[in-house]
Amino acid sequence: MEAVLLDIEKASTILKLVGDKTRLTMLACLTEQEYCVCNFVDMFELSQPAISQHLKKLKTMGIINETKRAQWVYYSLNTESEYYSFIKDIIRHVSIEESCCSLEETCGT
């Protein structure tokens, strides 16, 4: 996808969104693979409602997609988002602890 210039308001909104350590880490992880809410609950040791609120903010901006499979909802980075290249550029400059994004098990197993 070709890089798109964002107006200052949109760029400011995105930067505020990724200014949160948890959401920035989620996005970094989602560049590698999809995750379920339960994966993030285990990873961040936060409650399911807290994780869901973070994901809702990212989804509302169109930065991530959700896919329902049976009772589980999986999240992935929205490569069609107008913010995709901006998000990728930000993440490219961030060092995330590798073990933080590792999945020990998948939901429902």
Q: Where do the domains of the chain lie, and which CATH numbers do they carry?
A: 8-95 (1.10.10.10)
* Rounded Cα–Cα distance for residues 21 and 25 (Å): 6
Residue with more model confidence, 48 or 102: 48
Q: Determine if residue 62 is left, alpha or beta; phi over 0 gives left, psi from -120 to 50 gives alpha, anything else beta.
A: left
Tokens of 18: 């990724």
Tokens of 82: 């107008």
Q: Are 16 and 61 in contact (CB under 8 A)?
A: no
Average pLDDT of the residues of the chain: 89
Q: Which whole number is the average pLDDT over 19-41? A: 94
Is residue 103 very low, low, confident or very high in pLDDT (cuts 50, 70, 90)?
low
